[in-house]
């Protein structure tokens, strides 16, 4: 019993040391000015809600969104087509207007690629990527979506544990069976800000708070695009959050192969919950953090952009922050709200 308590206390002490060290590192990084070249190159993405494929949104809504997509340099959209069942199936009744949406969208924005956004929670009792039959149904659903006319498939499984073999197996299968021109992308969670953090925290926590950089790299090898969900971080202040995004950007650029399109997720929603302080996680802070992280690389990475979450929640102020802070920086920052 004494030995066990010593192990627990040692693990907790390690967690505290790691957390304090990481906090100091990330806050310091949110200083200085980003390089003038660290701006959008027009290869950005936007998560779009389910209303586009169930009939609630149509031409009037697209007319409002179109100039933001064009002016924002958005080259890819991920349209939510419905959650998978826990068995991996996707009911076509969840996206009855998908083909109509594709016709409408492409008539207005023919140069923007459309990926079907599919996913589900993968905790115990829900969708299990470790089961071959489940993976088979997910790939079958992906094949049907491509047959419906989408340009790609965008996976969003949460929370996938660090070093999970099931996700790798799914991506291998999808890559083998989907047509070669299909764009394959995935959302991924935040990555350890320092090497070894994921392993250390895993000793004391029941769920992995981060992926390791190595696992991110292995996942990315099977994809055309990776979108890092650099939000819902639990950071209490804007400075800590911005510094965290700087570090996320740096780590992701090192981990993701250069021939894979890397997108840093940017929050544009109002949620206030246990792992998000909306006054800290602002659109403006995220974008400045992305620009600072990109600047640290010393040169513009090809195939690098941001992914804004989301069309159905972004306010006018958040769109202004996106335009001023990334799409067309002019020295001013729009205010979220």
Question: Which tokens hold the place of 190?
Answer: 């935040």
Predicted pLDDT at 11: 43
Domain-embedded: residue 334: no
Domain-embedded: residue 215: yes
Tens digits of residue pLDDT in 237-290 = 999 999 999 999 999 999 999 999 999 999 999 999 888 999 999 999 999 999
> What gap in Å lies between CA 231 and CA 263, rounded to an integer?
13
Domain-embedded: residue 304: yes
User: Between the CA atoms of 178, 116, 250 and 304, what dihedral angle is there, to the nearest 10 degrees?
Assistant: 80
Predicted pLDDT at 230: 96
Overall domain count for the chain: 1
Give CA separation, 286 vs 246, 281, 294, 337, in Å: 8, 7, 12, 15
CATH number at residue 195: 3.20.20.80
> What gap in Å lies between CA 8 and CA 24, rounded to an integer?
25
Domain-embedded: residue 164: yes
Domain-embedded: residue 211: yes
Domain-embedded: residue 333: no
Identify the segments of the chain with pLDDT beneath 50. 1-18, 20, 331-334
Contacts of 273 (CB under 8 A, 6+ apart): none
Map tokens 């099931």 to a residue.
Answer: 166
The candidate with the shortest Cα–Cα distance to 73, out of 258, 326, 267, is 326
Give the domain extent around 66: 2-33+40-327
Domain-embedded: residue 335: no
User: Under a CB-based contact definition with an 8 Å cutoff, are residues 222 and 168 in contact?
Assistant: yes
**The pTM is what?**
0.89
Q: What angle do CA 164, 124, 54 make, to 5 degrees?
A: 95
Predicted pLDDT at 189: 96
Domain-embedded: residue 337: no
């Amino acid at each position: 019993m004494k030995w066990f308590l010593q192990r627990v206390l040692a693990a907790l002490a390690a967690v505290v040391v790691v957390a304090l060290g990481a906090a100091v590192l990330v806050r310091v990084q949110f200083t200085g000015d980003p390089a003038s070249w660290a701006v959008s190159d027009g290869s950005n993405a936007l998560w779009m809600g389910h209303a586009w494929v169930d009939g609630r949104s149509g031409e009037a809504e697209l007319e409002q969104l179109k100039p933001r997509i064009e002016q924002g340099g958005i080259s890819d959209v991920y349209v939510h087509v419905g959650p998978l069942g826990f068995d991996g199936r996707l009911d076509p009744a969840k996206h009855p207007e998908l083909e109509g949406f594709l016709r409408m969208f492409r008539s207005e924005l023919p140069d923007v690629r459309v990926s079907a956004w599919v996913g589900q929670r993968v905790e115990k009792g829900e969708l299990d990527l470790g089961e071959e039959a489940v993976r088979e149904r997910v790939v079958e659903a992906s094949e049907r979506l491509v047959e419906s006319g989408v340009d790609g498939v965008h996976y969003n499984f949460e929370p996938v544990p660090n070093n999970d073999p099931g996700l790798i197996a799914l991506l291998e299968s999808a890559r083998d069976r989907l047509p070669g021109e299909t764009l394959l992308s995935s959302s991924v969670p935040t990555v350890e800000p320092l090497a070894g953090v994921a392993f250390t925290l895993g000793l004391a926590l029941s769920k992995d708070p981060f992926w390791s950089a190595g696992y991110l790299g292995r996942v990315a090898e099977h994809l055309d695009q990776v979108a890092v969900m650099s939000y819902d971080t639990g950071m209490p202040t804007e400075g800590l959050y911005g510094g965290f995004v700087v570090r996320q950007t740096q780590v992701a650029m090192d981990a993701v192969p250069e021939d894979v399109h890397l997108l840093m997720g940017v929050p544009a929603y109002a949620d206030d919950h246990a792992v998000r302080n909306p006054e800290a996680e602002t659109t403006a802070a995220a974008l400045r953090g992305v620009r600072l992280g990109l600047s640290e690389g010393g040169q513009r990475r090809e195939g690098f952009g941001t992914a804004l979450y989301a069309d159905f929640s972004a306010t006018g102020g958040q769109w202004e922050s996106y335009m001023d802070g990334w799409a067309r920086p002019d020295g001013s920052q729009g205010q979220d709200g």
